[in-house]
Amino acid sequence: MGVEQQDTTVHPADPPGDPSELARVPDETVPEYVDLASDLHESVSGDVRFDEYAQILYATDGSIYQARPAGVVFPEDIADVKAAVEIATEHGVPILPRGAGSSLAGQTVGPGCVVLDMSRHMDGLIDVDTDEQSAVIQPGIVQDDLEAELEEDGLKFAPDPASSGRATVGGSIGNNSTGAHSVRYGITDAYTEEIKAVLPDGSLLHAREVVLDSDEWDDIVSKDDREAEIYQTVREAVENNEEEIETRYPELKRRVSGYNLDRVIYENEDGEEVMNLSKLYVGSEGTLGVIVEAKIGLVTVPEETALVLYCFEDLVDAMEAVPEALEFDVSAVELMDDEVFRLAAESDGYSEYVEPIPEGTEASLMLEYDSELHDDFEAAIAETNEYFVDNGKAFDAIEAYTDEDQADIWKLRKAAIPLLMSLEGDPKPYPFIEDATVPPKELAEYVIEFEEVLEDHGTSAAYFAHAGSGTLHIRPILNLKDQNGIEKMHSITDDVTDLVIKHHGAFSGEHGDGMARTEFNPKMYGDDLWNSFKEVKTAFDPEWDMHPGNVVYRDSPEDPGPDSERGVGADMRENLRYGADYQSVEPQTKLDFSDEGGFSHLVELCNGCGTCRETGSDVMCPTYRASKEEIQATRGRANMLRAAISGELPEDEIYSDRFQEEVLDLCVGCKGCKSDCPTGVDLAKLKAEVKHEYHQQEGTTIRERLFANIDTVSRIGSALAPVSNWAQELPGSDVIAEKLGIAPDRSLPHFASTSLEEWFEQRYSPVSEEEADDKVVLFPDTFTNYSYPEPGKAAVEVLEAANIYVEIPDDTVPTGRAAFSMGKLDKAYDRAKRNVQVLLPYIENGYSVVFVEPSDAAMLQDEYLDLLDGQAAQRVGASAYGVCEFLHAHRIYDDIDFDAPDEYLSYHGHCNQKALNKDHHAAAVLQQAGYEVDALDTSCCGMAGSFGYEKEHYDLSKSIGKILFEKVDESPGETVVAPGASCRTQLGDRDERSEKPPHPTEKLRDALA
């Protein structure tokens, strides 16, 4: 209890490894911080990084800001946090705790700070009390991971930010986060019961309810220590400002700016007046200490929910309906405008979710109902339909009762923020005043006046968010690469803060102060409270070591605090990621980047939201899931590329071995970011372009040439089979492979003595071209042709069972997938050009092009359009299909007589198919054939063509594979099926008992009557 000077956490006295090695400062450490880094290495068990790459990776978050830290520490436990804080303060360097870095106001970046990344190791659920409905957690636990662990108990943490798939609970506490259900549950401060935090002097403060003037209180304040100073200062701040607190703090469900002086003293359940400093820590953004443990309250999870989306022809009509919606028992009231719908419709990953929205919808209001409030969802929705549609201004209602239908609507809503940042060009709908909150009854008038502010400044905005709580995410569209745009941002903020005060609101109802809004806190709270904020800050942090300049700042060096400039001043125009001086290089490229606005614009589409750090569903980003390294997430790679093209890194750094190996080579090219990243940052395309230029300068290795020409190797191996297969088993063959850089533990492909093309030439086709119902070209990809022809044979037989004429051309060349993945774009271009020339006459003659291998289908559907100009490539791409995609898209399965065996299949789709929204076809056709199918929500298998064969990538490949194996083991399916050759190889290499799973076409052939 109280301030603990000694930590009880078990800490190894003698860390494993050579102590001298442990204390060694990496060669890349920035010279300015060598001594600090050395001291941290000696005292902290977790990793310590003070190199330029680490600074760049942690210089940004989900906001418009950028500030290089001194370095990053990854504490493993409380003892590490204490040591890091003590050493940083000794060196006079400020400290900044950080979770996922998804914050939108710049509160997880800080110039010259030691960043403590709490998400790597301190991410556990310590205890759950189901009777009390509470949990004790470490700050780095991701909210969705916490929810998964609480699922069996039917409990959850009520605040639900849209970023819950990557945001940490510690970050939610630091930010006082909330979400769509604050109408029902309130925000984080209501659920934070106790906190343990490390203060700048290394002591551990236990914040909990303390009854005022009790024996415990007297014991605390009687001591001459930091804890006594904190308690006395906070009490004085509250009691001396009762009238100001009553006047200045708005009565809203959401208010997350400033310090919570209005909530730190209250009556407990026994009617006693208590002080609970944990309420003050909530929303403090790391400025009062480093949270290392928290006890949080939980709520029960409703068994069922239902949604209805009301469509309006006018935004103000939707706003006027908000207070009326709150008259009903709803658990969420959410708004989206037509700009969100438009951008979603243009996004590969979200277009399907916006299809049900009727034309003419200028704004929508979404109402959610849960089973703890309603017994009959249909009756509840009928009541609101009558009110809003029959007798109101809504012209349509979309009802959603199933989990799947509701998930689609929520996915669209949660993607709104990053979707808006995908807007083409430099002007973007930036976040800086986007979560101002006013009472719901004043929303309509507030929006009208806000529009006038925008009109006065010559801009427009997009609208969405938590209308039921009076929070609208209004994002003015500005160009922050232009000084006029920057000044316009500041002027709009000034005007809107006046508007918010006029409407009895708060500057921030969700996203906090940070660099964006701290400047304006004096205006909201007045001089007396503002001075009290500074006194409270100084009581916790006398030297202003903790994230100085956020939430509160010093007006001058004479203010309370250190005898220095630390924490003096706050200007939202400073530390912008894209300022007036920002410039980037637009290189000449081999690939066509015109659809993305250019190479640099595609890089800059990354807004830092951190969706690529999510690990629970979808594809992106498989390497991050396995390693938890920021540099291996799409955001990390995009940040490094942006640093390279904008001059933050030395001119030729992008072509250095380190950049190639750490930033690019570990991207598996799954293409998941093309669809899963809401702004569409296609790292696989960017990687291919940069690797191409790298090869132009540095040449290629023997291994790279070998893999890029794997078709030649396979053709020779097939011609020499079975001798070529025996050769792989000879003693010493693994040594040769290892010298070439191939992982000796990886099983190499065997070669078929009869290729698919040879088999096809020797057989009689039962379907004639003249009498066929349709006709296709089956493309002989390298793996199917030379190593495993069975899926190709099965494809032919299934297609012919539907009276489709099949032809395998003998003059195509490999698609160039291997060469493209290696960045050998000249070779990929030549092969693309050749195949388009060969295939176009077939297409003009009514043929479709069908593929067994998904990655080769994706080459024609996607990459060929970047490699080649003109209509020919587009026509060929539009006529290219995976086998199951072709069967499903054209309902050809209706023409096949299936009689599937009684078998339950687990289907793992290929990541390239998922990126192009084509992975669902195989599962659908297998179900039509009569199988029961569990379509796994899986990421990349980790094999990724040659990646899994490369010696230096083998361990990472297997780590990614283990995530897939876990999904397979959890599935009720008896048999795994996978269309990708790489996926089947990874699954077959799982252990000695594993066999390569079948391709879906093989199971379809088994089901032919």
Please report, for residues 578, 583, 610, 659, the alpha-carbon distance to residue 643 in angstroms, rounded to integers and kept in the order given: 12, 11, 18, 11
User: What is the DSSP secondary structure assignment for residue 808, as one 8-state letter?
Assistant: -
Cα 226 from Cα 552, distance rounded (Å) = 20
Q: What is the pLDDT of residue 13?
A: 33
Q: What angle do CA 6, 11, 16 make, to 5 degrees?
A: 155
802-830 tens-digit pLDDT: 999 999 998 999 999 999 999 999 999 99
Listed residue (471, 564, 534) closest to 181, CA to CA: 471
What SS3 class is residue 364? strand
User: What is the DSSP secondary structure assignment for residue 610, as one 8-state letter?
Assistant: -
Q: What is the pLDDT of residue 732?
A: 80
The residue among 645 and 737 whose pLDDT is bigger is: 645
pLDDT at 3 over 50: no
Q: Residue 918 contacts by C-beta under 8 Å, 6 or more apart in sequence?
A: 854, 857, 861, 882, 885
Listed residue (446, 480, 479) closest to 463, CA to CA: 446
Structure tokens at 573: 């125009």
Name the one residue in this structure whose structure tokens are 């939610």: 172
Q: 910: pLDDT confidence band, cut at 50, 70 and 90?
A: very high
What SS3 class is residue 96? strand
Q: Is 118 exposed, middle or buried (0-12, 13-18, 19+ CB in 10 A)?
A: buried
509-546 tens-digit pLDDT: 889 999 999 999 999 999 999 999 999 999 999 999 99
Q: What is the pLDDT of residue 25?
A: 55
101-114 tens-digit pLDDT: 999 999 999 999 99
pLDDT at 174 over 50: yes
pLDDT at 31 over 70: yes
Q: 2: pLDDT confidence band, cut at 50, 70 and 90?
A: very low
Mean confidence (pLDDT) of the chain: 93
Listed residue (148, 104, 96, 103) closest to 125, CA to CA: 148
For 772-801, letters b (16+ CB in 10 Å) and e give bebbbbbbbbbbbbbbbbbbbbbbbbbbbb
pLDDT at 23 over 60: no
Cα 881 from Cα 866, distance rounded (Å) = 18
Q: 269: pLDDT confidence band, cut at 50, 70 and 90?
A: very high
pLDDT at 5 over 80: no
**Over residues 152-164, mean pLDDT:** 93
360-377 tens-digit pLDDT: 999 999 999 999 999 999
Q: Is 759 exposed, middle or buried (0-12, 13-18, 19+ CB in 10 A)?
A: middle
**Over residues 879-898, mean pLDDT:** 95
Q: How many helices (H) and strands (E) does the chain have?
A: 45, 29
Q: Going by DSSP bridges, is the β-strand pair 904-907/880-882 parallel, antiparallel, or unpaired?
A: unpaired
Asked if 288 and 537 touch (Cβ cutoff 8 Å), the reply is yes
Q: Which range in 13-27, 338-352, 607-621 is most confidently predicted, on average pLDDT?
A: 607-621
Name the one residue in this structure whose structure tokens are 């914040």: 207
Q: 26: pLDDT confidence band, cut at 50, 70 and 90?
A: low
Cis peptide before 722 (omega within 30 of 0): yes
Q: Residue 737 contacts by C-beta under 8 Å, 6 or more apart in sequence?
A: 743, 744, 748
For 252-272, letters b (16+ CB in 10 Å) and e give bbbbbbbbbbbbbbeeeeeee
Cα 24 from Cα 3, distance rounded (Å) = 33
695-751 tens-digit pLDDT: 999 999 999 998 988 999 999 999 999 998 888 888 888 888 888 899 988 888 899
985-1004 tens-digit pLDDT: 999 999 877 889 999 999 99
pLDDT at 417 over 80: no
Q: What is the pLDDT of residue 18?
A: 37
Name the one residue in this structure whose structure tokens are 């088999």: 759
Listed residue (505, 516, 513) closest to 537, CA to CA: 513
Cα 78 from Cα 81, distance rounded (Å) = 5
Asked if 767 and 804 touch (Cβ cutoff 8 Å), the reply is yes
pLDDT at 19 over 70: no
Cα 86 from Cα 406, distance rounded (Å) = 48
What SS3 class is residue 463? strand
Structure tokens at 901: 């065996």
Listed residue (472, 508, 184) closest to 340, CA to CA: 472
pLDDT at 22 over 50: no
Q: What angle do CA 433, 435, 440 make, to 5 degrees?
A: 125
**Over residues 197-225, mean pLDDT:** 97
Structure tokens at 492: 């709009």
pLDDT at 10 over 70: no
Structure tokens at 964: 């897939």
683-696 tens-digit pLDDT: 999 999 999 999 99
- Please name every residue paired with 137 in a beta bridge, in sequence order, or none if there are none: 125, 294
The residue among 732 and 455 whose pLDDT is bigger is: 455
User: What is the DSSP secondary structure assignment for residue 550, as one 8-state letter?
Assistant: S
Name the one residue in this structure whose structure tokens are 């976040």: 431
Q: What is the pLDDT of residue 616?
A: 87
Q: Residue 718 contacts by C-beta under 8 Å, 6 or more apart in sequence?
A: 724, 751, 752, 753, 755, 785, 786, 787
Q: Residue 723 contacts by C-beta under 8 Å, 6 or more apart in sequence?
A: none
Asked if 835 and 711 touch (Cβ cutoff 8 Å), the reply is no
Listed residue (524, 498, 540, 579) closest to 227, CA to CA: 540
Please report, for residues 86, 96, 496, 608, 833, the alpha-carbon distance to residue 92 in angstroms, rounded to integers and kept in the order given: 10, 13, 37, 29, 61
CA count, 13 A, side-chain hemisphere, 402: 3
- Which run of H or E residues covers position 971? none
